[in-house]
Amino acid sequence: MFSDETPVGRTTPPEDQQSLVAYVVDSIIDGVSKGSYAHGQRLIAADLAEQYGVSRAPVREALHVLAGEGVVEITPNRGAKIRRLSTKQLFDFLEFTESICALGVRLATEKMDEPEHVAALEVCFSHITEAWDRRHGRDFVTALYMYHVEVNRISGNQFVDFFYRRPYIRFYTILLAEKVTGIHWEQYILNYKRIHETIIEGDTHAAAATFVSHIRWVLKHLNAADTA
């Protein structure tokens, strides 16, 4: 979407991590997000082990975590590959997360009688506009993502909250943002201003409707970009 200005911080050294498995998982997710690993690329345990300075055991365990997450595919006797996603699948992913986020938005809007919830959302939204003003792509996407994380937290539905924070959702979200072209970003941020306003106003129906119509708008443009 935007050009990527900062080279993105390298992965944390193993000492700071809780376990080597977590370190390797984060490193791989990070590597995929920033494009170090191509989709469909084979991940060879021994190579990764050497690269990250650990043995094959934690690498294999990390790959199995990622397989469980749905970020890599493990074929018996054929090892792990980064899951390849077609544009169609990313489109489907967006349509899919629409349902989840819409639920989060609907439930969170009902909780806007609590001033602290409003305040928390205001902070998150300020991060969106800030990243937008700086035209910083990755930060913008991250801020949008974090906004929904907060919405889902406020929603009170623990499963929505849990689900949306899963690494693979994060991963697909970033991936999607990078693939999206032909979107009118000025309109996008305007939509979000409107969504944010309706949420904090506490009008459940309006918030859900506004959000859904925003996603429909995005889907429409994505679709157009795909078939073009």
Partner DNA sequence: GCATACGAAATTACATACAAAAAAGTAAGG
Partner DNA sequence: CCTTACTTTTTTGTATGTAATTTCGTATGC
| 31 belongs to the binding site for DNA (CB under 7 A) | no
Alpha helices (H) along 40-86? 45-52, 56-69
Query: Pick from 76, 88, 113, 186: which binds DNA (CB under 7 A)?
Result: 76
How long, in residues, is the chain?
Answer: 228
- Of 105, 151, 160, 200, the one binding a copy of itself (CB under 8 A) is 160
| Residue among 25, 65, 80, 151 that touches DNA (CB under 7 A) | 80
Can you tell me the distance from the alpha carbon of 168 to that of 201, in angstroms, rounded to the nearest whole number?
32
37: contact with DNA by CB under 7 A? no
Measured from the CB atom, is 24 or 141 closer to DNA? 24
Backbone φ and ψ of 72, nearest 5°: -120, 160
Compute, in degrees rounded to 10, the torsion defined by CA atoms 178, 99, 160, 150: 60
Site for a copy of itself in 89-148 (CB under 8 A): 89, 92-93, 95-96, 98-100, 102-103
Among the residue ranges 38-46, 120-128, 169-177, 204-212, the one whose residues contact DNA (CB under 7 A): 38-46
2: Cα separation from own chain's centroid = 16
When asked if residue 24 is in the footprint of a copy of itself (CB under 8 A), the reply is no
CA distances from 103 to 110, 161, 164 (A): 11, 11, 12
**CB under 7 A: which stretch of 53-61, 82-90, 153-161, 185-193 binds DNA?**
53-61
How many residues lie near DNA (CB under 7 A)?
24
Pick the stretch among 75-83, 100-108, 131-139, 162-170 that binds DNA (CB under 7 A): 75-83
Cα separation, 172 vs 178, whole angstroms: 10
Which residues 6+ apart lie within 8 Å of 207 measured at CB? 105, 106, 109, 195, 198, 199, 201
Residue 77 touches DNA, criterion: CB under 7 A:
yes
Q: Are 109 and 199 within 8 A, CB to CB?
A: yes
Which amino acid belongs to residue 27? S
Strands 72-75 and 42-43: unpaired
Q: Which is nearer to a copy of itself, 41 or 89 (CB)?
A: 89
Residues in contact with a copy of itself, counted by CB under 8 A, come to a total of 35
Determine if 71 is a binding residue for DNA (CB under 7 A): no
Q: Contact between 174 and a copy of itself (CB under 8 A)?
A: no
Name the residues that contact a copy of itself, by CB under 8 A.
18-19, 21-22, 57, 60-62, 64-70, 76-77, 88-89, 92-93, 95-96, 98-100, 102-103, 157-160, 162-163, 166
